[in-house]
A = this chain, B = another copy of it.
Amino acid sequence: MTLAEAADSQNTPLETVPRNATSTEAICARILERHRDRVSVRKPHLATANLARIIEAVLKLSSRQSFHEMSLRDLARVSGLSMGGLYSYFDNKNTLLVMILTEVSETVGAVLRDAPAGLDADPAAHLRWLIDTHIRLTEAMQPWFVFAFMEAKGFPAAARAFATESELATERIFADVLARGVAQGVFTVPDIDLTAALIKPLLQDWYVKRAKYRKRGTPIHAYVAGVIAFVERAIART
């Protein structure tokens, strides 16, 4: 099952995350564009397909051990390429880290900033949309987000700074909506920045502790509804 299919099978009619943005192939096409100079294979279809196989293998192997424990021989075996073949798609192992992190950061920013028109006028609806979209995006790209979350520590300094900034940008999107809700008198929030910071881990828990919720049989719509209810009661006008 591909990532996109996994997303589809969980999606409700309220789906807000377009499949064409989250399929492994689509993501790898974007990665390829962004790192064309590191990939020596010139034919785009071939390069995209093989890069997808490589990165899917990285995400699979890194879910059981850390990225640095994964050897390139493991990666060659699981991806189906040879040792030498791998190096046509990246110049060194660390580039794989950077490719994945960068794409996750860019994607989450792009998706969350693309709210349906008119939603700015209704902070409560906008907040619900943000929560729903964030959780569904991380569900559709779960291995990517887990990887970025768990391996961020080992990134080169520049990439780590970029990831941190991306995190803060997401938080700011939530803080803005909270501020607008307070201004319109629909929310009561004593500390907007702290509240935005507290909403974040509620969204992340769905992918960080995915195994727990799967074992428990919690469907995604129940989790989304639970988080929305929890947050809305916590910030409801008093």
Contact = CB atoms under 8 A, between A and B. Distances in A.
B153 A194 contact: no
Interface in A183-206: 190-191, 193-195, 197-198, 200-202, 204-205
Interface in A30-67: 63-67
Contact of A233 (B193, B202, B218, B236): B236
What bracket does the count of chain A residues touching chain B fall in?
Answer: 35 or more
Contact of A191 (B63, B190, B200, B226): B226
Contacts of A231: 234
Identical chains bound together, number: 2
Contacts of A222: 191, 194
Contact of A198 (B66, B191, B202, B216): B202
27 contacts: A63-B153, A64-B153, A65-B68, A65-B153, A65-B154, A66-B66, A66-B67, A66-B68, A66-B151, A66-B153, A68-B68, A167-B212, A168-B212, A190-B229, A193-B216, A194-B222, A194-B226, A197-B209, A198-B202, A198-B226, A198-B227, A201-B201, A201-B205, A201-B208, A230-B234, A233-B234, A233-B236
